[in-house]
Amino acid sequence: MRNAGKEKATAKRRGWRRIVGAGFVVVSGLAFVTIGSNVALWAMSSGHRSDVAGAPVVPVVIVPGAKVGADGTPMAYLRGRLDVAIELVAAGKAGEILLSGDAGGSSGDEIASMSRYLSEHGVDPAIVRADGEGFSTRETCERARTMFGVERAIIVTQYQHLPRAVALCRETGIDADGVVAYCECRRQTEFRNNIREWLAAPKAVAQMLLS
């Protein structure tokens, strides 16, 4: 009986070791894929990321949408992107602005919010075009190319999102460069968006490989 009890305990320990070992392999594999995907996106966008001063001259600057406030005004992330787009136009770096976002978003109409902000900051509405169905970064890039005929552009977004945005736009056939947007954001917000971008990288790379 005593030997049987020992054998049962040993078998149980072995079972737990196998479970822990399998879990370690899965976690390690996911970490490898996530890190590798992020490295790939940074490499693919290398040489195509800059600030306003280092940006090339292009026909259009693309501004992806983001959350708007309860009062309909752009929140920090989106406001930072729009401010940089305004600077690029003022500096002669771009002749048009293409707003791309969700016109029926859960936080509100991103397109209306962005358009109003640009107008309030002196941007001529005649140089602003809008896509209310840019529901994701990939869709923003694809629709800019197919629906609006964009072939050369700057895409403006925050630093953690920029490699993915540039890589996706270039993969869709746009000769795209990226300019870093401002962000007067809380550390908690930046941390959350960093995590989000790290986790979004494998999907972006997979989409590029399968397209």
pLDDT of 39 higher than 60: yes
CA atoms of 101 and 133, how far apart (whole Å): 6
The DSSP output letter for 85 is H
Q: Point out the least confidently predicted range of 64-73, 167-176, 186-195.
A: 186-195
* Tokens coding 135: 């529901």
pTM (2 d.p.): 0.83
Sign of the dihedral defined by the CA atoms of residues 165, 159, 31, 195, in that order: negative
Inter-residue contact 52 to 33 (CB < 8 Å): no
Average pLDDT over residues 94-119: 94
Q: What is the pLDDT of residues 132-184, one digit of tens each?
A: 999 999 999 999 999 999 999 999 999 889 999 999 999 999 999 999 998 87
Q: Which residues contact 91 (CB under 8 A, 6 or more apart)?
A: 52, 55
What integer pLDDT is reported at residue 180 of this predicted model? 95
Percent of the chain with pLDDT over 90: 59
Q: What are phi and psi of 186, to 5 degrees?
A: -70, 150
Beta bridge partners of 108: 105
pLDDT of 1 higher than 70: no
Number of H helices and number of E strands within the chain?
A: 6, 6
CA atoms of 108 and 97, how far apart (whole Å): 21
